[in-house]
Structure formats: structure tokens, C-alpha cells
Amino acid sequence: MARSTPLTSAEVDAQLRERPEWEVVDGRLHRELEFADFVEAFGFMTRVALVAEKLDHHPDWSNSWNRVVIDIVNHDAGGLTPECFELARRADEAASG
């Protein structure tokens, strides 16, 4: 996969308008999710893991019982790229379905 170029701050702002559940914290896309229980949280992580592998773009995340904290950044590019927002979009889909 070719290395992506980081988005400008204006491009990040435009993308964030389409992903209102996300915010930028310390240069990373950040979202905290709460599920009914551990099984639902782990199911979400499993769905996102499969997508992340296909996209070859993996999140930094943690799970504590029914909570998942997810951070996305393109380490190779040194910032947020279109792939970061694609993974966020797909995570939103996994969370809603």
C-alpha cells in the first residue's frame, strides 16, 4: 500500500463533521464506546479487527468489560489520513450493527 499523506487541519475538520462521535485527542481520532456487556464489546472489537486487517490499518485500543476505547492514527504517515477516517467509518458501522 502506498504511503498516505496526512490530511490538513481543514480536511480533518471536514471529515470530523461526518463522524460526530469522534474527536481528535493528541493527534489521534478518539472514540469511547459503551456496550451492554463484555460479549457485545468483544464482538464489536472482533468486527473492527477483521475490517482493520483488510484495510491494513490497525487501531490502538483497549477494552474493559463493556467499554472500548479506540484511537486511530497513521503512524507511517505521521498523522491522520483518509484511511484513518475510513476505519472510523467502518467502526461506526460495526458499532451500530
Report the CATH number at residue 51: 3.30.1360.20
In a domain, 61, yes or no: yes
22 belongs to a structural domain = no
In the prediction, which pLDDT does 92 show?
98
| Structural domain range at position 64 | 28-96
Task: Specify the number of domains making up the chain.
Answer: 1
Q: Please tell me the distance from the alpha carbon of residue 20 to that of residue 69, in angstroms, as a whole number.
A: 16
Tell me whether residue 89 is in a domain: yes
Burial class (CB in 10 A: 0-12, 13-18, 19+), 24: middle
Integer Cα distance of 50 and 61 in angstroms: 14
pLDDT of res. 1: 43
Per-residue pLDDT, 4: 83
Listing DSSP states for 34-80 in one string gives E-SSHHHHHHHHHHHHHHHHHHT---EEEEETTEEEEEE-BTTTTB-
Q: Is residue 7 part of a domain?
A: no
Distance from C-alpha of 81 to C-alpha of 79, rounded to nearest angstrom:
6
Q: Confirm whether 88 is domain-assigned.
A: yes
Residue 4, in any domain of the structure? no
In tens digits, the chain (97 residues) has pLDDT values of 445 899 999 999 999 999 999 999 999 999 999 999 999 999 999 999 999 999 999 999 999 999 999 999 999 999 999 999 999 999 999 999 7
pTM: 0.94
Per-residue pLDDT at 3 = 58
In a domain, 8, yes or no: no
